[in-house]
Amino acid sequence: MALPRTPSFRLDSKRALVTGASQGLGLAAAAALAEAGASVWLCARSADAVETAAQSLRADGGDAHALTLDVTDLEAVRRTLDGLEAFDILVNNAGTNRPKPFTEVTPDDYDAVLDLNLRAAFFVAQAAAARLIAAGEGGSIIHISSQMGHVGGQNRSLYCASKWGLEGLNKAMALDLAQFGIRVNAIAPTFIETPLTRPYLEDETFRAQVLSKIKLGRLGQVEDVMGAIVFLASDASALVTGTSLVVDGGWTAE
C-alpha cells in the first residue's frame, strides 16, 4: 500500500522578502526562512541594522541579503521591487504602536501607526504580488497581524484598528489572488518579547495583566512564531489561504 507523504516544509530555491527584518519578529522570520533553505532579503530603514542582521544570518550559514528601504515610501517600494526578481514569499512584518487612551490619540499618532501597519503593508503586498503575477508563478504572502486584530485592547485603539484592517485585507487579498496561485495568510501573535514590546512589559502591572490573559501562562518568544512562518511559506500549507493563524497562548479562546 502506498502511503501518503507529508508535504515538504523545505524552502530550497525559494526567494523571500521580510520587512522590518533588522530585529524582533522580522529577524526571527528571516532566520526561520533561511534555515528552511530560502534565499532571504531582509528589508529595513536602517542600513547599518539590516546589514548587521544579514551578516548574522550569513555567519550562521544562511543565504541573506540586506535591503535598505522605508516601506512607507510607496514610490521607492514600487521602484525597488520592480527592479528585483519576483519573491516567492513575502513576510509583511514592519509595524509600530503608540498605545494611549482613545481620547488622547492625535492625527500624527493615527498617521504613524496606520501608515506603517496598514497602508505600507497594503502596497508592499501589491507590488510583490504584481511581480509574482507577471512571472506567472504562485507564492505565499504572510501578514504579521496580532491577536489585537481579533479582540479589543485598552489604550490600543490605533493598533487594533490597523490590525483588524490587516485581517480584512488578508481575506480580500486571498480571494483576489487565488486565481494566480498566490496564497495569502496572516499570523496573529500574542505579546512577544521583542525590542518593540519590552518597554511596555517592564511595567509590572501591565505585565501581570498580560500574563493573566495568556492561558499557557507565559509571554511569547520569537521562536513561538517561527514554525508558523515556515508552515505558511511552504508546501505544507498548500491549501491554506485567507486565514489567520492565531499564536496567542489561548488569549482569544474565551
- Contact (CB, 8 A) for 224 and 192: yes
By three-state DSSP, how is residue 242 classified? coil
By three-state DSSP, how is residue 15 classified? strand
Give dist(CA 30, CA 239) in Å, integer: 23
Of 186, 178, 230, which is closest to residue 8 (Cα–Cα)? Answer: 230
Report CA dihedral (123, 166, 95, 150) to the nearest 10 degrees: 180
By three-state DSSP, how is residue 86 classified? coil
Give dist(CA 170, CA 141) in Å, integer: 9
Catalytic residue among 41, 87, 123, 159: 159
Q: Residue 242: what are its φ and ψ, rounded to 5°? A: 75, 20
Give dist(CA 48, CA 55) in Å, integer: 10
Count of C-beta atoms within a 10 Å radius of residue 104: 10
Residue 159 annotated as catalytic: yes
Residues assigned a catalytic role: 159
